[in-house]
Amino acid sequence: MTVSSNALPAAKASLRRTFRDEAGRMLRRLLSNPATAFGLCVIVILVLAAIFAPLLMTHNPLAQNLSNILKAPSAENWFGTDELGRDVYSRLIAGTRITLTIIGLVSIIVAPIGLVIGTTAGYFGGWYDTAMMRITDIFLSFPGLILSLAFVAALGPNLNNAIIAIALTSWPPIARLARAETLILRSADYISAAHLLGASPLRILVKSIVPMCLPSVLIRVTLSMATVILTAAGLGFLGLGAQPPTPEWGAMIATGRNYMLESWWLVTFPGAAILLVSLSFNLVGDGLRDVLDPKNR
């Protein structure tokens, strides 16, 4: 009995050490790639800026000062002011929270939906697979931004509906990827052994197939974040996403485009933020693909 009682804690400790070692190895490999390290640094800065936004902002991002409109970058207003005298730097920092909210909520929605639809379709096959893949094909046949515009037009223009619309158009690639992985895995020997041992389809999916699909899904979700950011900015630019005076980067570019020839900072800084964050997620996604790909191990 003493051996049995000590075996479980020892096994858990060993599992934690293995997980720690593997996580450390992956992080070292990610940081060994300069492009991936740069992307990680930008994402970390984005997260820190969102967390400490009240401390980093020099002005109230919503406060108007009509006596200080369209001022060029200066010591008082680092990134200048907009057409209503609001500090562009403070609005840009406040916009990091909106960007992270969009990224986080879309990821939470699309990853489980795509994973569930893809794994179940690939595992069960038959009419269910055909029906799910035809629905997926319908979504994939339209450009993401156009389909998001249609959903937002139906739901109403605001940030919450924009997030729902982006999520509804972002799950099909993940479902396709998960289905392809499942089609390969379901014929594996260990899946056949689980069948012979009487494991239920739900147990096989949850315990054996989904964990094997998670790395590919994680990479795909990370690479999709750039598209999510650009789509959210596009909706904001068209007035269908975050509504004024919300400091969303796409909406900031939309309101500043009428003054961009004389006041270049109104679109330059929000545009640079969108470009930098989108590029960073692509770089991190590429790095994760290199690290998690078994061929590279």
75 Cβ contact partners less than 8 Å away, ≥ 6 residues apart:
none
CA pair distance 63, 179, nearest whole angstrom: 50
pLDDT tens figures, 42-99? 999 999 999 999 999 988 888 888 888 888 898 888 998 988 889 999 999 999 999 8
Q: What is the CATH number of the domain that holds 192?
A: 1.10.3720.10
151 Cβ contact partners less than 8 Å away, ≥ 6 residues apart:
161, 164, 165, 168, 169
Q: What's the angle, vertex CA 120, arms to CA 116 and CA 124, rounded to 5?
A: 175
Residue ranges making up the domain that contains 205: 31-58+84-296
Give per-10-residue mean pLDDT for the chain (297 aa).
Answer: 50 58 71 86 92 91 86 89 90 91 90 91 89 90 84 85 89 91 85 81 86 86 87 85 84 86 89 92 85 60
Amino acid at 225: M
Q: Is residue 74 part of a domain?
A: no
Residue 18 Cα to chain centre, angstroms:
28
Looking at the structure of the chain, the number of domains it has is 1
CA pair distance 187, 9, nearest whole angstrom: 35
Q: Is residue 17 part of a domain?
A: no
